[in-house]
Amino acid sequence: MWQGSGKFLIQLASVLLCAFEVTTRRLVVSPTTFDVRSYGASADGVTDNSHAFLRAWNAACSSSGDVELLIPPGTYILNPVKFKGPCSNVNTLTFYLEGELKASNDLRLYGKGDDWIEFGHVKGLRVTGGGTFDGQGSAAWAYNQCPTKKYCHILPISVKFMRLNDTIFYGIKSVNPKFFHIAVLQCQNFEASQIYMEAPEDSPNTDGIHITRSSGVSIHDSIISTGDDCVSIGQGSTDVFISGIKCGPGHGISIGSLGKYPNEGDVRDLVIRDCNISNTMNGLRIKTWQNSPSSSSATNITFENIQMSNVRHPIIIDQTYCPNNLCDDDKVPSRVSISDVHFKVINGTSASPVAVTLNCSPEIPCQNINLENILLNYVRGEPSTAFCAFASARFSGPNMLPLPCN
Ligand SMILES: *[C@@H]1O[C@H](CO)[C@@H](O)[C@H](O)[C@H]1NC(C)=O
Ligand SMILES: *[C@@H]1O[C@H](CO)[C@@H](O)[C@H](O)[C@H]1NC(C)=O
Ligand SMILES: *[C@@H]1O[C@H](CO)[C@@H](O)[C@H](O)[C@H]1NC(C)=O
Ligand SMILES: *[C@@H]1O[C@H](CO)[C@@H](O)[C@H](O)[C@H]1NC(C)=O
């Protein structure tokens, strides 16, 4: 009898210990988890999971503290879906993507202006877990009219982050979006790192990360190979820090295009540094539309320590941007003022002879453009050149190539 109850006590103790371990692990390490499979999701590669994901999102969002929406390994088909806040009692909401999400290919399922996946009005969102967003874009690219029409119907962006505060986007892969891979719109404090993006070099408008009207954005340590800009920083963006990006193929790292619409916000306080750009159309670019409907500015922008390899236009400010002559009146100069721009320690090779182009607005010339320690060799061997129009530019440093324009 004593033996029996001794054994029982030991068993009880170990059960209690176990329970304690489980409880503490839960409390300390893992947040409350909402597994999409418990809400009807199926990784069969056929079923649309948007309703199941939304049910799991709504459960997580209306919960409290640190919560996790778990998408275990497997391939999940997902029609367009909007994950909305506010999630009032939630501290952090982690979208933990281990699996692969595949976008629907039926464009009729996407309403006008709809993107594929939108996260909106949340504070403390984390999107991580090593999984993949596959936009299945190859079937949609033929329907993209933007390269030939100024006001075009825009295809769905793969993942749109809209009006979020304090977001972390970490360790995720994005492939073949129908339009941009990622858009960051009206967000405050957004950090992306360890992101891997891939789409064919000739896929239209597949920008890697596009930022508009956001502040406190940091994009770092990521690899972007795509058909358009690796990173593009649009109107109203301030306090943006880009570093450690391996970019190419693609169109490089761009500010703009600016000045397309009325009442655009100013762009200021940007740092782009420690990046490698190879086999791209542009390297570092600021582009503004001709005939801008209203005035705005782009100022305090630093590009530093950038390695270029076989880049067609390594450094380019283009204020006559008007792709395929889509402008209503190509005689009217841009009204975006560009000032206080620093290009420092930019090395490597240019695929065209003109390595530096500063083509500014005749109405508002560029002010205080500094090029310091630039060494860009034309791949064919002859010296590279610089072109300047309506730009007040200062070239400095030893072994400068191209030589300053006069
Ligand atoms: C984000 O912060 C701004 C103020 O900085 C606030 O107005 C807005 O409601 C916040 N949004 C969310 C989703 O928390
Ligand atoms: C850029 O290339 C250099 C070697 O040329 C390497 O040391 C560095 O890590 C690379 N940086 C990125 C962001 O790829
Ligand atoms: C320029 O931008 C940098 C980076 O955001 C910032 O630290 C600096 O204070 C800004 N300079 C001015 C004059 O605003
Ligand atoms: C750029 O070239 C200069 C001079 O050749 C060299 O001192 C510097 O280390 C190079 N920087 C990079 C980032 O390659």
Query: Of all helices (H) and strands (E), which one includes residue 6?
Result: helix 2-28
**Shared-domain flag, residues 155 and 287:** no
For the chain, the distance separating the N- and C-terminal CA atoms, rounded to the nearest angstrom, is 102
**Shared-domain flag, residues 138 and 200:** yes
Query: Does residue 13 form part of some domain?
Result: no
284: number of CA atoms within 13 Å, CB side? 32
Cβ–Cβ under 8 Å, residues 162 and 114: no
Residue of 215, 219, 269 best suited for mutating to test ligand 3, as the one with most atoms within 8 Å of CB: 269
Q: Which of residues 228, 263, 287 is at a domain's end?
A: 228
Tell me, what CATH number does 166's domain have? 2.160.20.10
Rg (CA), the chain: 25
Output the pTM of the full model: 0.91
Report how far residue 289's alpha carbon sits from residue 95's, in angstroms, rounded to the nearest whole number: 38
Residue of 218, 300, 302 best suited for mutating to test ligand 3, as the one with most atoms within 8 Å of CB: 300
Query: Does residue 131 form part of some domain?
Result: yes
**Shared-domain flag, residues 145 and 292:** no
Q: Is a pLDDT exceeding 70 seen at residue 189? A: yes
Between the alpha carbon of residue 24 and those of residues 14, 17, 93, 138, the distances in Å are: 15, 10, 20, 47
> For the segment 221-252, what is each residue's pLDDT rounded down to a tens digit?
999 999 999 999 999 999 999 999 999 999 99
Catalytic residue list contains 210: no
Ligand 4 centre to CA of 294 (Å) is: 40
**Shared-domain flag, residues 315 and 192:** no
Average pLDDT, the chain: 91
Give the closest ligand to the alpha carbon of residue 164. Answer: 1
**φ, ψ at 183 (rounded to 5°):** -125, 135
Pairing of strands 32-35, 65-71: parallel
Ligand 4 centre to CA of 15 (Å) is: 63
Mean pLDDT of 160-182: 98
Which residues form the domain of 360? 251-406
**Shared-domain flag, residues 155 and 268:** no
Residue 111 is classified by DSSP as P
Please give all residues whose beta carbon lies within 6 A of any atom in ligand 4, as ranges. 305, 307, 345, 347, 375
Query: Does residue 240 form part of some domain?
Result: no
> For the stretch 163-198, what's the b/e string if a residue is b when 16 or more beta carbons lie within 10 angstroms of its beta carbon?
bbbbbbbbbbbbbbbbbbbbbbbbbebbbbbbbebb
Report how far residue 336's alpha carbon sits from residue 47's, in angstroms, rounded to the nearest whole number: 48
Please give all residues whose beta carbon lies within 6 A of any atom in ligand 1, as ranges. 85-86, 121-123, 163, 165, 188
Task: Identify the pLDDT of residue 28.
Answer: 44
151 falls in which pLDDT band (50, 70, 90)? confident
Ligand 3 centre to CA of 65 (Å) is: 36
**Shared-domain flag, residues 165 and 291:** no
Atom in ligand 1 nearest the alpha carbon of residue 85: 13
**Shared-domain flag, residues 80 and 186:** yes
Query: Does residue 164 form part of some domain?
Result: yes
**Shared-domain flag, residues 217 and 258:** no
Query: Does residue 107 form part of some domain?
Result: yes
Cβ–Cβ under 8 Å, residues 245 and 220: yes
**Shared-domain flag, residues 37 and 133:** yes
Q: How many domains does the chain have?
A: 2
Atom in ligand 4 nearest the alpha carbon of residue 399: 4
Ligand 1 centre to CA of 238 (Å) is: 16
Task: Identify the pLDDT of residue 292.
Answer: 86
Neighbours of 294 (CB within 10 A): 11
Tokens of 221: 């340590």
**Shared-domain flag, residues 347 and 293:** yes
> For the segment 102-134, what is each residue's pLDDT rounded down to a tens digit?
999 999 999 888 999 999 999 999 999 999 999
Ligand 3 centre to CA of 239 (Å) is: 8
Q: List the catalytic residue out of 51, 121, 181, 251.
A: 251
Query: Does residue 243 form part of some domain?
Result: no
**Shared-domain flag, residues 342 and 406:** yes
Nearest residue to 100 (alpha-carbon basis) of 118, 116, 77:
77
Query: Does residue 4 form part of some domain?
Result: no
Q: Which of residues 193, 228, 263 is at a domain's end?
A: 228
Query: Does residue 23 form part of some domain?
Result: no
**Shared-domain flag, residues 62 and 202:** yes
Please give all residues whose beta carbon lies within 6 A of any atom in ligand 3, as ranges. 239, 269, 271, 300
Q: Where are the beta strands (DSSP E) in 107-146?
A: 117-120, 125-128, 132-134
